[in-house]
Amino acid sequence: MPGHSQGLKGLSRQGLNFCLTEGNVTHTHQPFGELANDKAGQTIATMKAIYTELAGMFPDEELFIGADEVAPAGNCTLSDYAAIERAVCETVTGDKTQGGLGRTVGGWEEYAFETAVVPPLPSAAEGASNYVVNTCHYHTQFESTARGWQTVASNDSHFYLVYGGGYPSYWVDIASGMNATQRSLLRGGSVSAWVDEYCYIAYCIHEGQFPSAHALFPPSADALFHQSIIGYSFPRAAVGAGSFWNYLSEFKAAGGDGAFQATYDAMNSRLIQRGVPSCPSECHCDAASRCGTPYINETVPPIRTLSKQELFELRPGRPLHLP
């Protein structure tokens, strides 16, 4: 939130408001479904209630609010989004004695750079910041730490599994060029796996067509989905974890690419031996295929899918039963 909130449209009767497009049509039918900052404050009050409920369900120190890809939509502006984000952040980080949740808040880079709700690094007297910024596409971890923010590096140029490159691109120094202060603010990195290629809902990001692995969406394809998503996540995610944990720029220099390849192959073999359907070292895997063989092929029993009309007729709360 406030973007990517289409899944919350069922709460519109309970106080959530959405941005309006031309002709005052609610903007929930688009893939992003942006929340609107209504004058009565219903959206803010509802989102505060949601995060308060989440805090009671999960003991984690950090609550992640999203805040990515915010852009003016219909009658909504960046200022509207900033007001929602700021109110939620203040609730999450606020003192428990004052009705706050006393947690650390995390969000994508836009809530730091675009809507600018993340405060600068506090003084030593004020203590450590309770905001974390995940950099991804438009900004870098170097920029974020240079401004004094606690940062997690999620660079889509290296760590975006669905559209990312081969495993060598995941071996990279995320702290390159940083001084000691910046390194102290860099909390690590994360590898992301959006499920765009499995999308099988009305008005998906692939509007007008089904993406490559949509047939793996139904519950009847759970086993194949498991193989698919793990196959394109690993071993690349494991290489990324190695970078985050203990990147050594001398690694390749000392032994050349051969040493890196040997270490990678051994690691991947251990994953496969332990039952992880990691992609074999000698082939390519993506959402729809493994080593050149599509997950849905002539040897796989037919999978019941829904027509476009059936998808568009789905309503929140209506159970979906697939044979």
Q: Is the peptide bond before 2 cis (omega within 30 degrees of 0)?
A: yes
Q: Give me the residue label for tokens 């990515």.
A: 68
Highest mean predicted confidence (pLDDT) among 182-191, 243-252, 290-299 = 182-191
Integer Cα distance of 160 and 189 in angstroms: 12
The two structure tokens encoding residue 95: 């003192």
Which DSSP state fits 274?
Answer: T
Mean pLDDT value across residues 291-309: 72
Q: pTM above 0.85? A: no
Tell me what percent of the residues of the chain surpass a pLDDT of 70.
78
Is it the case that residue 205 has pLDDT exceeding 70? Answer: no
Q: Give me the residue label for tokens 């805090």.
A: 55
pLDDT of the residue at 15? 77
